[in-house]
Structure 1
Amino acid sequence: MIYAEDTVDAPEAALAATEHSLGESHASVTLLEYGDYECPACIRAEPLVRGLIATTGPRLRFVFRHYPLVELHAHAELAAEAAEAAAAQGQFWPMHQLLFSQIHKLTLPDLAAYAESIELDMIRFNGEMADRIYTQRVQEHRRAGEQSGLQTTPAFFLDGKLIDVSDGFGKLEDAVRAALAGK
């Protein structure tokens, strides 16, 4: 387990235009999450993150990266690939929200139903999922997290500093609010 006071080489500086982000790229505070769509703690964190995004306005940039714990969650990597397939059609965030709201319904038929519900091009979606063309991108996200020393999800970096949420998400909310108050 990594704690907030540990030194971690956060990938914050390497945030690219291709990241899945909400908010302005020049926001005063950036919150980066490494998450897994099948992780119970990530599922519990999602409403808090959505609330922070909604209440902080343009001062917060939120970035999501995949960190599927394939050793524990059999469908996590495939769900992340479905999110990437949706992103390729400009629908990452609708798929992201669906994946977190459909607890443990992440089989390929479930993912296809979610894709259809957000009106993706299903021929393209099904082909990309069958060919697993987003596996590499998902694994790149995971490797970046591993290089930062991560072993579990969710993991949150606030302006490059890892926030310890092992005791609950109150620390995350307090840290975001304090960072915004200081800027």
Structure 2
Amino acid sequence: MLLPSEGMLSATVVLVMYGDYQCQESADVYRLLKVIGRQLSISLGEDYLCFIFRHFPQIQIHFQALHAAEAAAVQGQFWQIHDILFIHQQQLADGYLVEYANDLGLDISQFLQDMCKHVHLERINQDIESGTRSGVTATPALFINGIRYSDRWNLKELIAAIVTASH
């Protein structure tokens, strides 16, 4: 399975975010990165930035995060369901996940089979292992061209860090 990414992997700057669908900070940072991505793509070109999302569900505190991550991996609609899951963080029970899949026109029978069989669990575990090897212990965690971002989560500082990474 391909990494969930927006943009070319050969972009000038590659952002890797480890996130959890029940983590409010992950949702906030994701929304901020979407705004930054739009701004940088307009000013510096569409090949400037690549965004990769990696699952890092904190299941010890967010009990529905793993199922949400599995739901996001299905049927080639990753970014569409990804956005829905972050918008509806408080509604990630199985019934809601099926509703979101249905709204996207997914094959519900296949969706349910994949969820029950945990078809995407290995991929999610690979993301978790990758994050753990990179020192991730909580979400959100962001890497800019392979370097962990540890400054404030605001528009000005993130854009500065991204532009600095490109030089």
Match of 2:137 among 151, 166, 180: 151
Which deviates more from structure 2 when the two are superposed, residues 143-152 or residues 168-177? Answer: 168-177
Distance in structure 2 (CA, Å) of the matches to 1:127 and 1:47: 31
Match of 1:61 among 45, 50, 60: 50
Match of 1:107 in 2: 93
Match of 1:117 in 2: 103
- Counterpart residue identity of residue 28, structure 2: R
Deviation at 1:103, TM superposition (A): 2.2
Deviation at 1:179, TM superposition (A): 2.9
1:67-124: CA deviations, max 9, x gaps? 0001110001110000012xxx211000000001112110011111111111101111
Match of 1:4 in 2: none
Distance in structure 1 (CA, Å) of the matches to 2:31 and 2:159: 12
1:26 partnered with 2:44: no
- Which runs of 4 or more aligned residues in structure 1 lie more than 2 Å from their structure 2 counterparts after TM superposition? 167-174, 177-180
Number of residue pairs aligned between Structure 1 and Structure 2: 161
- Give the SS at the match of 2:136: coil
TM-score by length of 2: 0.91
Deviation at 1:148, TM superposition (A): 1.0
Identical-residue share of aligned pairs (%): 32
TM-score by length of 1: 0.83
- Counterpart residue identity of residue 153, structure 2: G
